Every structure is written in structure tokens, then in C-alpha cells.
């Protein structure tokens, strides 16, 4: 009986050492677990063949013990794990797409605000130009009116033609 118990304790110790070497944990019975409280998954026939191919390097040359241990530790994902990873990637992709869309909407809004501001400024500038043009026309009209009045008053005693060349002095102002 004591011999059997000693054998069990040796097996438990060996399992603990193996679990520690592989970076896994063990359950209360000393069995190795995968770190999530569950026993490590055993490999199906196809998975074992893939690991065997990894262990031989794919060319039937046997690799050393460290390479075999590394090949045995290659994570083989279940269908649920692959679906979860695909879902995670898709969620990240959707989030990036939404972020890009949000950025585009913000940029469009900013550009629309700039367009409206530019339109407002152009209208104000046109208004100022029209006001300046109207003021200039008023000044020119006042100047021409003053010249015309001077010509009308000058008919009484001011010469309309140059004495030397006989050119009309007021012809261009009427």
C-alpha cells in the first residue's frame, strides 16, 4: 500500500515538473491543464499527422527532442477558436471602417462650413466693390456736372476754341 502511494506521488511530481516545464498549470489531482483549468486537448489523427510532419521537418528527417517538444506545443485551434478569432478581426475591421467614415463625415462638415464662409466673404467683397463703384460714379458725375456748369456759364465770355490751333476746348467734357 505504501509502495503504491509512493508511486502515485512520484507520478504527480513528474506531472507537476512537466507542467512547469511546458508553462502550463496542474489541477488538484496533479494533472496538467492548459492554463484555463481544462486538460490539454488531445490531437486528432489529422492534427497528430501534422505535428508528426512538423517533428520530422516535412522531409522524413527526425528532429531532435527540443524540436519535437516545440512541434508538440504548436497551438491547434478549434473551430470555435477560429470563429472567435475571425469575429475579433471582423470587429476590428468594422471599427476601423466606422472610424474612417466618421473622419470623412467630420471632414465633409468642416469643408462645407469653409465653403459657406467663403461664399459669405465673396458676397461681402462684391458688395464692397459695388459700393465703391457707385461712389466713384457719383464723384465722376459730380465732376462732369461741374464742368458742364462751367461751360454753360462760360458761353458769355470765355473762349471755346484755342486761338492757336482752333481746337474745341470744352468738346470732350459735355
Residues in CB range of 162: below 8 A, 6 or more apart:
169
Percent of the chain as helix, strand, coil, to the nearest 5: 70, 5, 30
Q: For residue range 123-135, what is the model confidence (pLDDT) as tens digits?
A: 999 999 999 999 9
Q: For residue range 19-75, what is the model confidence (pLDDT) as tens digits?
A: 666 655 555 555 555 555 555 555 455 555 554 554 454 555 555 555 556 555 556
Buried b (16+ CB within 10 A) or exposed e, 104-126: eeeeeeeeeeeeeeeeeeeeeee
Q: Among 86, 58, 52, 89, which residue's Cα sits nearest to residue 72?
A: 52
What are the residue boundaries of the structural domains of the chain, listed by start?
A: 2-76
Amino acid at each position: 500500500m505504501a509502495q503504491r502511494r509512493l508511486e502515485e506521488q512520484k507520478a504527480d511530481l513528474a506531472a507537476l515538473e512537466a507542467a512547469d516545464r511546458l508553462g502550463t498549470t496542474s489541477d488538484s489531482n496533479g494533472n496538467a491543464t492548459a492554463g484555463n483549468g481544462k486538460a490539454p486537448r488531445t490531437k486528432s489523427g489529422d492534427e497528430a499527422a501534422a505535428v508528426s510532419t512538423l517533428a520530422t521537418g516535412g522531409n522524413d528527417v527526425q528532429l531532435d527532442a527540443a524540436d519535437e517538444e516545440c512541434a508538440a506545443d504548436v497551438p491547434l485551434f478549434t473551430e470555435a477558436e477560429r470563429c472567435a478569432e475571425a469575429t475579433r478581426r471582423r470587429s476590428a475591421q468594422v471599427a476601423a471602417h466606422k472610424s474612417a467614415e466618421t473622419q470623412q463625415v467630420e471632414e465633409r462638415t468642416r469643408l462645407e462650413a469653409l465653403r459657406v464662409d467663403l461664399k459669405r466673404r465673396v458676397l461681402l467683397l462684391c458688395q464692397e466693390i459695388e459700393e465703391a463703384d457707385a461712389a466713384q460714379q457719383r464723384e465722376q458725375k459730380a465732376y462732369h456736372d461741374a464742368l458742364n456748369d462751367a461751360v454753360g456759364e462760360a458761353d458769355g465770355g470765355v473762349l471755346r476754341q484755342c486761338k492757336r490751333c482752333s481746337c474745341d476746348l470744352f468738346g470732350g467734357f459735355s
